[in-house]
């Protein structure tokens, strides 16, 4: 089906089109417009024109619009899940979970829209500050550019569009080239619920072409980006004084202390490693198990992994499918080979069946092998033995990334030490790093980026604090 760009509330033909292929079947599923510079500039102009309307919209109306978006997605949830399964190759049960989270995200955005307040300040605490009433307010920034990745095409868009609109901004959304269809669905819903024309614009096409315009156009006041560190760092370098939020990758780790309940811990770790074939920014990539529990942990982990079923993402029983692109499968395989040559053992997987990379478990992986120190973003996990939790914490921190980390332990002191010493944006005690609910503050340190999402926190990133001082 031929799709159109969504600019200023209208569906607009692209100047050129590309075929979109389903990652799993390789079939053509749509013709997607490739926006050129002119189209992106039109989208920015439409967003700028709508900025005054959005700024004036009372909080209760912004909240009502966001709630209506949530309800429309709920009404079309199975259609949305099937779109995600098709364009992203995400197993349908996982896609349904994403849709359910997306509904939550817009509902949280609607609630937070009503809570954007400031504070009163005692200026008389400073000599010369007497006789004044001072307070802060949060104002919208204006046009926000949202650039999103392929792996959660509906919910990660919601994490940008939701807070941006809640704060009274307008948005130009550039979804990942592989996953434009769910963004078009959102545009359809936005028009249907009566979002002012131009408040949300969707431009699809080349990341570098569209990104260049969005990042350099002075009418765009903020860039909120989720994606790979390479692109994020480039955006940051070119964005000048624009606000920038970067949600980037990681090689997330979990620590397994002795005495934990393997029946509970292992299935959770397998889920964290292989859900959506590991194409999740907080996927479990590194597991450090203390020597007392290492052997039984590995054995149970392999048994649990063996239960996973690969196949068509639209089939109910499927746990994993093809990765997003055959090139990505090749890259992951090459990294596995490299680790193997350097002494790692491949306990399962490490091979391709059809278009699917099988869930792969490695042990004895050197810390500087790419499967350990870079982001695999595929169905590959390493389990290494450590002498102590202290050693495990050192290993976890020996990374250029720091999004989230997890530790399973029965010892309160060990848990508190880990919470203090792990250098990441979020520490999960007795859970995997792959835990996220949508209102919690979420973001990384080091090359995992900066700024926080989670509605309340994203609203802070996407609004300006203004001080008012009133002399009596
Ligand atoms: P990419 O960085 O390849 O792409 C992300 C977005 O950036 C896409 O829309 C892409 O467009 C666009 N883009 C590409 N080049 C440029 C450019 N020069 N300027 C501006 N925009 C550009 O990431 P993926 O889609 O492959 O997503 C995977 C990555 O996302 C992983 O590293 C993962 O860890 C990270 N991620 C981080 C999350 C977090 O919250 N921290 C959550 C989810 C994913 P196009 O598709 O057209 O190339």
pLDDT in tens, 30-55: 999 999 999 999 999 999 999 999 99
Q: Which atom of ligand 1 lies at the shortest distance from residue 324's CA? A: 26
Q: What is the mean pLDDT of residues 113-118?
A: 97
Can you give the pTM of this predicted structure?
A: 0.97
Residue bearing the CA closest to ligand 1, atom 32: 228
Q: How far apart are the CA of 14 and the centre of ligand 1, in A?
A: 22
Q: Which atom of ligand 1 lies at the shortest distance from residue 205's CA? A: 47
The predicted-structure confidence for 191-248, as pLDDT tens digits, reads as follows: 999 999 999 999 999 999 999 999 999 999 999 999 999 999 999 999 999 999 999 9
174 lines ligand 1 (CB under 6 A): yes
pLDDT score of 276: 98
Residues marked active site are found at 247, 281
424 lines ligand 1 (CB under 6 A): no
User: Using CA atoms, how far apart are residues 378 and 359, in angstroms rounded to an integer?
Assistant: 9
Residue bearing the CA closest to ligand 1, atom 39: 247
Q: Which atom of ligand 1 lies at the shortest distance from residue 149's CA? A: 25
Listed in order, the ranges of the chain carrying CATH 3.40.605.10 are 5-248+448-471
pLDDT score of 342: 97
- Using CA atoms, how far residue 55 sits from 202, 220, 282, in Å, is 20, 15, 35
155 lines ligand 1 (CB under 6 A): no
Question: Do the beta carbons of residue 144 and residue 214 sit within 8 Å?
Answer: no
323 lines ligand 1 (CB under 6 A): no
pLDDT band, very low/low/confident/very high, at 324 (cuts 50, 70, 90): very high
91 lines ligand 1 (CB under 6 A): no
Listed in order, the ranges of the chain carrying CATH 3.40.309.10 are 253-437
Q: How far apart are the CA of 217 and the centre of ligand 1, in A?
A: 20
Q: Which atom of ligand 1 lies at the shortest distance from residue 281's CA? A: 34
- Percent of the chain whose pLDDT exceeds 70: 100
pLDDT score of 77: 98
Residue bearing the CA closest to ligand 1, atom 10: 207
Residue bearing the CA closest to ligand 1, atom 35: 227
Q: How far apart are the CA of 228 and the centre of ligand 1, in A?
A: 5
Residue bearing the CA closest to ligand 1, atom 12: 207
Secondary structure of the chain as H, E, C letters: CECCEEECCEEECCCEEEEEECCCCCCEEEEEEECCHHHHHHHHHHHHHHHHHHHHCCHHHHHHHHHHHHHHHHHCHHHHHHHHHHHHCCCHHHHHHHHHHHHHHHHHHHHHHCCCCCCEECHHHCCCCCCEEEEEEEEECCEEEEECCCCCCCHHHHHHHHHHHHCCCEEEEECCCCCCHHHHHHHHHHHHHCCCCCCEEECCCCHHHHHHHHHHCCCEEEEEEECCHHHHHHHHHHCCCCEEEEECCCCCEEEECCCCCHHHHHHHHHHHHHHHHHCCCCCCCEEEEEHHHHHHHHHHHHHHHCCCCECCCCCCCCCECCCCCHHHHHHHHHHHHHHHHCCCEEEECCCEECCEECCEEEECCCCCCHHHHCCCCCCEEEEEEECCHHHHHHHHHCCCEECEEEEECCCHHHHHHHHHHCCCCEEEECCCCCCCCCCCCECCEECCEECCECHHHHHHHCEEEEEEEEEC
Q: How far apart are the CA of 108 and the centre of ligand 1, in A?
A: 24
Residue bearing the CA closest to ligand 1, atom 43: 281
Q: How far apart are the CA of 187 and the centre of ligand 1, in A?
A: 20
Residue bearing the CA closest to ligand 1, atom 20: 211
Mean pLDDT estimate for the chain? 98
148 lines ligand 1 (CB under 6 A): yes
In testing the pocket of ligand 1, which one of 20, 177, 228 has its CB within 8 Å of the most ligand atoms?
A: 228
pLDDT score of 1: 87
Please tell us whether the domain made up of 5-248+448-471 is placed in CATH 3.40.1130.10: no
Q: Is the pLDDT of residue 102 over 90?
A: yes
pLDDT score of 399: 98
pLDDT score of 239: 97
Relative orientation angle of helices 207-216 and 37-56, to the nearest 10 degrees: 50
pLDDT score of 60: 98
Q: Which atom of ligand 1 lies at the shortest distance from residue 147's CA? A: 9
249 lines ligand 1 (CB under 6 A): yes
User: Using CA atoms, how far apart are residues 255 and 270, in angstroms rounded to an integer?
Assistant: 14
Q: What would the CATH number be for the domain defined by 253-437?
A: 3.40.309.10
Q: How far apart are the CA of 374 and the centre of ligand 1, in A?
A: 16
Q: Which atom of ligand 1 lies at the shortest distance from residue 204's CA? A: 47
The predicted-structure confidence for 268-300, as pLDDT tens digits, reads as follows: 999 999 999 999 999 999 999 999 999 999 999
Residue bearing the CA closest to ligand 1, atom 8: 176
User: Using CA atoms, how far apart are residues 136 and 138, in angstroms rounded to an integer?
Assistant: 7
pLDDT score of 2: 95
The predicted-structure confidence for 358-395, as pLDDT tens digits, reads as follows: 999 999 999 999 999 999 999 999 999 999 999 999 99
Q: How far apart are the CA of 180 and the centre of ligand 1, in A?
A: 13
pLDDT score of 247: 98
């Amino acid at each position: 089906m031929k799709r159109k760009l969504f600019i200023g509330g209208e569906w607009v033909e692209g100047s050129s089109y590309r075929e979109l292929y389903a990652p799993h079947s390789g079939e053509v599923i749509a013709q997607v417009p490739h926006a050129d510079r002119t189209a992106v500039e039109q989208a920015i102009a439409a967003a700028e024109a709508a900025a005054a309307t959005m700024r004036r919209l009372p909080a209760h109306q912004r909240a009502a619009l966001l709630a209506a978006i949530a309800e429309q997605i709920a009404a079309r949830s199975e259609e949305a899940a099937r779109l995600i399964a098709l364009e992203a190759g995400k197993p349908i049960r996982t896609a349904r979970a994403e849709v359910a989270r997306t509904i939550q995200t817009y509902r949280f955005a609607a609630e937070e829209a009503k809570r954007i307040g400031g504070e009163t300040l005692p200026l008389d605490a400073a000599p010369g500050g007497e006789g004044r009433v001072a307070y802060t307010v949060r104002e919208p920034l204006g046009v926000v550019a949202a650039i999103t990745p392929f792996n959660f095409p509906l919910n990660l868009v919601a994490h940008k569009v939701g807070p941006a609109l809640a704060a009274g901004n307008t948005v130009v959304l550039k979804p990942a080239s592989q996953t434009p269809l769910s963004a078009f669905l959102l545009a359809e819903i936005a028009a249907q619920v009566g979002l002012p024309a131009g408040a949300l614009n969707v431009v699809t096409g080349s990341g570098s072409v569209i990104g260049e315009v969005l990042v350099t156009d002075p009418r765009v006041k903020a860039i909120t980006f989720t994606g790979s560190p390479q692109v994020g760092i480039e955006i940051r370098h070119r964005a000048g004084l624009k606000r920038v939020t970067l949600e980037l990758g990681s090689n997330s780790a979990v620590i397994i202390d002795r005495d934990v309940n393997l029946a509970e811990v292992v299935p959770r770790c397998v889920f964290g490693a292989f859900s959506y074939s590991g194409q999740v920014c907080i996927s479990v990539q590194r597991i450090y198990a203390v020597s007392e529990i290492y052997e039984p942990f590995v054995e149970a982990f392999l048994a649990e992994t063996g239960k996973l079923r690969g196949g068509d993402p639209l089939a109910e029983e499927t746990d994993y499918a093809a990765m997003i692109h055959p090139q990505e499968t090749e890259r992951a395989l090459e990294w596995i080979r490299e680790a193997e040559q350097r002494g790692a053992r491949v306990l399962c997987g490490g091979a391709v069946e059809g278009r699917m990379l099988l869930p792969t478990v490695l042990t004895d992986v050197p810390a500087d092998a790419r499967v350990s120190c870079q982001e695999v973003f595929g169905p590959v996990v390493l389990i290494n033995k450590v002498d102590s939790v202290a050693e495990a914490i050192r290993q976890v921190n020996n990374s250029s990334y720091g999004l989230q980390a997890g530790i399973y332990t029965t010892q309160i002191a060990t848990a508190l030490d880990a919470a203090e010493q792990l250098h990441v944006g979020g520490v999960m005690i007795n859970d995997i790093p792959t835990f996220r609910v949508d209102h919690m503050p979420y973001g990384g340190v080091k090359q995992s980026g900066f700024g926080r999402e989670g509605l309340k926190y994203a609203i802070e990133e996407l609004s300006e604090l203004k001080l008012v001082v009133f002399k009596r």
